[in-house]
Homo-oligomer: A and B are copies of this chain.
Amino acid sequence: MSTANTLTATEAVALMRAGTLSVEEMARACLARVAERDGAVQAWAYLDPDHVIAQARALDAAPVKGPLHGVPVGVKDMMFTADMPTQQGSPIYEGAFPKLDAAPVMSLRAAGALIFGKTVTTEFASTIVGGKARNAHDPERTPGGSSSGSAAAVADYQVAIGLGTQTGGSTMRPASYNGVIAYKPTWNVVSREGLKVYSLTCDTLGIYARSVADLDLLADVYRIEDDIKPPPFAIAGAKIAVCRSPAWGKAEPATRDALALGAAILAEAGAEVTELELPSMFDDILQQHHIVLRHEGRSAFLNDYLMHGAQLKDEFKATVENREGITLAQVRHAYDIAAQCRIAFDEIAAGFDAVLTPSATGEAPVGLGSTGDPSFNSMWTFLHTPVINVPGFKGPAGMPVGLSLTSARYTDRKLITVAAVVADLFKAKGNFPPA
């Protein structure tokens, strides 16, 4: 059996563009992996093997091979796909099949990607109540959420690339729990058209991969650019900040140890590692994030509340009804504090090559009922900064723990350059080398 499914997108696309590997072979290797592992991982909300093969053959026959030629991509089931249902993890949309591609899906298709199937999302990508998907490393544990299936499918070698989203911690936390690379670009540098709206201020596309080089590949397709093309990055002499963040009180030993070990690895490799204490303006930023989500959710879920109320989870009804009694004065304050924190953080981050910070409170929790705690991710989502999860650590149960790298808004390509070096270091010197 082919093991093409274990190739990264960068590796696979080189072979497929050269004609050494056919897209159909690649697709069949991924389908075989799914057949073998789906009972344990259950990452897919919709997957039609015949349609995958038909797409693969069409790509093999295509006269032009795009930059993502044949790369199998799992798409979170809250992004519209013209050829597959989009069910939002919700009973309201069971079998729903609006025939259009979300913008980020269309761009990948235009680049030659093989849209493989739809991955499990929590309901509307807006709750921490888990779906059927399991952690790629332990079926008794959550894969995290809301991008549950995309993270698990990429970690489990079922597809090379997964699309997710993040409003709180929906991309980074699952990446940490499943031991994969993930990238949340600066807010809105990738279109979110055709994705379920929860919070316009925070919703951001997320990308899962098994190598940092793949992030460059996708960033090229999405035309994500910095003002200055980043020069080659060397860790020796680099300035790295370590930010425990306002969520530090929630860090479990697994996360505390990972951050300490990660910082030590970078220092040992010659980086100048500095502890970063954020100004007091950031102290209650998680509360401000919560207020904005509750506020923006009021309008985001109103239509289903009015039209399909009986099938809507009570937590969404509570949001629409503003049962927390959040005032608009609080909302305005939350927006304005966030805007000021964005300015302040960009100034701080300009003094460093990257900021290292936790990706999750600890290992993936046991059980599928909750997808875990997004506290370490929400601030960065709210600040609109690019974030990359880098695996390399493990917790007491042997489960993966990742760390996040972040930087100022619109320095995505520089951050990818830094993450490539850091990922290699963590892989070599950390305590959770991927298989």
- A residues neighboring B (CB under 8 Å): 80, 96-101, 103-104, 106-107, 109-111, 188-193, 196-197, 200-201, 221-223, 225-227, 296, 298-300, 302-304, 306-307, 320, 327-329, 331-332, 335-336, 339-340, 342-343, 346, 409-410
Across the interface, do A306 and B111 meet the contact criterion of CB distance under 8 Å?
yes
Given the known interface contacts A103-B302, A339-B339, the answer about A227 and B329 at a Cβ–Cβ threshold of 8 Å is yes
Q: Assuming A107-B302, A222-B302, A223-B298, what are 15 further A-B pairs, CB within 8 angstroms?
A: A98-B99, A103-B300, A103-B302, A106-B304, A106-B307, A110-B303, A191-B197, A191-B299, A191-B300, A192-B197, A225-B328, A226-B328, A328-B409, A336-B339, A339-B343
Of B200, B226, B303, B327, the residue contacting A107 (CB under 8 A) is B303
A298 neighbours in B (Cβ, 8 Å)? 223
Given the known interface contacts A332-B409, A343-B336, A409-B332, the answer about A103 and B200 at a Cβ–Cβ threshold of 8 Å is no
Across the interface, do B191 and A109 meet the contact criterion of CB distance under 8 Å?
no
A332 neighbours in B (Cβ, 8 Å)? 346, 409-410
Q: Name 14 interchain pairs, CB-CB below 8 A, sorted by A.
A: A98-B98, A98-B100, A99-B99, A101-B303, A107-B306, A107-B307, A111-B306, A189-B299, A190-B299, A226-B328, A331-B410, A332-B410, A336-B342, A339-B342
Of B191, B329, B343, the residue contacting A302 (CB under 8 A) is B191
Least Cβ–Cβ distance between A188 and chain B, in angstroms: 6
A192, A201, A332, A346, most chain B CB atoms within 10 A: A332
Q: How many copies does the complex hold?
A: 2
A100 neighbours in B (Cβ, 8 Å)? 96, 98
Least Cβ–Cβ distance between A62 and chain B, in angstroms: 14
Least Cβ–Cβ distance between A71 and chain B, in angstroms: 15
A97 neighbours in B (Cβ, 8 Å)? 99
Q: What are the nearest 10 A-B pairs in CB distance?
A: A339-B339, A110-B306, A328-B410, A106-B303, A98-B100, A103-B303, A193-B197, A110-B307, A98-B98, A191-B299
A410 neighbours in B (Cβ, 8 Å)? 328-329, 331-332
Least Cβ–Cβ distance between A97 and chain B, in angstroms: 8
A96 neighbours in B (Cβ, 8 Å)? 100
Of B192, B223, B307, B327, the residue contacting A227 (CB under 8 A) is B327
A221 neighbours in B (Cβ, 8 Å)? 306
Least Cβ–Cβ distance between A412 and chain B, in angstroms: 10
**Distance between Cα atoms of A107 and B304 in the complex (Å):** 8
A303 neighbours in B (Cβ, 8 Å)? 101, 103-104, 106-107, 110, 191, 193
Across the interface, do B227 and A299 meet the contact criterion of CB distance under 8 Å?
no
**Distance between Cα atoms of A98 and B320 in the complex (Å):** 27
Q: Closest residue to A299 on the B side, CB-wise? A: B191
A189, A190, A193, most chain B CB atoms within 10 A: A193
A336 neighbours in B (Cβ, 8 Å)? 339, 342-343
**Distance between Cα atoms of A110 and B308 in the complex (Å):** 9
**Distance between Cα atoms of A104 and B222 in the complex (Å):** 29
A335 neighbours in B (Cβ, 8 Å)? 339, 342
**Distance between Cα atoms of A409 and B299 in the complex (Å):** 16
Given the known interface contacts A191-B197, A343-B336, the answer about A302 and B226 at a Cβ–Cβ threshold of 8 Å is no
